[in-house]
Amino acid sequence: MLAVKVPKQEAEKARRKLIELGVLAKGYAIRREGEFILFPLIEPVEGFELVEADFERLEKRPHSYREVVEVPDEVRPLLPSSFDIIGDIAIIELPKELMPYGKAIGEAILRVHRHIKAVFAKGSKVSGEYRVRELIHLAGERRTETLHRENGIRLKLDVARVYFSPRLATERMRIFEKTRPGEVVFDMFAGVGPYAVLLAKKAKLVFAVDLNPWAVRYLEENIGLNKVDNVVPVLGDVRKVAGQLKADRVIMNLPKFADRFLREAMLSVRDGGVVHYYGFGPDGDLFSEHEAKIKTVARELGLGVEFLGERKVRPYAPRQFNIAIDFQVLK
């Protein structure tokens, strides 16, 4: 095919020019010939030395595992279009009809996404106090520990032993943007520290509590990994710590049970401090049940509350959303 021949040292400039002119042929490997580089063309172009040359076709890389996975036609429409990626581990939710093809699905994911080293299927819902789920190994390494990057921090964690959702990254950044220098933050359900370590980059001090010993082990490691020296990790039930500090900002990232800890949150915030409350709500009436609970607890404690903002964080189940309510406590 027709090609442009340029000296090696002019290759990058020529490549940009050919792209700009829209004449560079796509899908071919660029060739090297001694001190020259050859670019394939779709049509002749002026101002360059033109030659005839053969080019190797580049393999078209699939974008989705669904393009390469082999499953019977009748279950193909059930293949999920997305899955979670935590570090180099993929976690996919498969309907039971697809479970017999789990290995093929896992291997297809590994083939298409080269940075993924292990694939697991969700084996249960998130449950228990630690909010963890069972995982079923599908393909790749039988390893559940990984290093995840999010919002400029690094988080080491074990996906089988602690709760972690990469889908909350944007929400965590939202809270980071609200945090002001000098603040004392109380992260009531800290996990491995995605809020605590991030907010420590801005706040004066972050108290980070969790009941799960594995979560606190990783939290401590993540404090070191990210070189923050203003996070106080606490292993234990947050009820034992609550009320002993007066924070400017409280984070209640335990959507399933946060309502049970409203008293502790309100007692731990200073006058005018802000609580970030999370819950689940049905589409159509996302917030009212939670607002009512917040008002009731405030009334019982003789406190005032002012609602600052409410938002959907992410879909949780059919017609159910993970929601966030920000409110200020007036003492």
Ligand X SMILES: C[S@@+](CC[C@H](N)C(=O)[O-])C[C@H]1O[C@@H](n2cnc3c(N)ncnc32)[C@H](O)[C@@H]1O
Q: Choose which of 41, 69, 254, 323 interacts with ligand X (CB under 6 A).
A: 254
| CA-to-CA separations, 150 to 193, 208, 310, in angstroms, rounded | 11, 18, 24
Tokens of 11: 């290759």
Determine if 168 is a binding residue for ligand X (CB under 6 A).
yes
The stretch near ligand X (CB under 6 A) out of 112-120, 162-170, 265-273, 295-303 is: 162-170
Q: How far is the CB of 257 from ligand X (least distance, A)?
A: 7
Alpha-carbon gap, residue 219 to 234, rounded angstroms: 10
DSSP class of residue 260? G
Nearest distance, CB of residue 313 and ligand X, angstroms: 11
Q: Max Cα separation, the chain? A: 85
- Which of residues 4, 23, 238, 250 is near ligand X by CB under 6 A? 238
Among 83, 164, 287, 321, binds ligand X (CB under 6 A): 164
For position 163 contacting ligand X by CB under 6 A, the verdict is yes
Q: Which is nearer to ligand X, 151 or 328 (CB)?
A: 151
Q: How many residues make contact with ligand X (CB under 6 A)?
A: 20
Residue number of the CB closest to ligand X reads: 191
Q: Site mask, ligand X, residues 102-131, x = CB under 6 A? A: ---------------------------xxx
Structure tokens, 261: 């800890």
Name every residue whose Cβ is closer than 8 Å to that of residue 146 and which is 6 or more positions away in sequence.
Answer: 86, 87, 88, 89, 156, 157, 158, 159
Question: Any contact of residue 211 with ligand X (CB under 6 A)?
Answer: yes
CA-to-CA distance for 88 and 68, rounded, in angstroms? Answer: 20
Alpha-carbon Rg of the chain, whole angstroms? 26
Q: Which residues pair with 90 in a beta bridge?
A: 85, 119
d(CA 25, CA 1): 10
Q: Is 212 in the site for ligand X (CB under 6 A)?
A: yes
Binding residues for ligand X (CB under 6 A) = 129-131, 163-164, 168, 189-191, 194-195, 209-212, 215, 237-238, 253-254
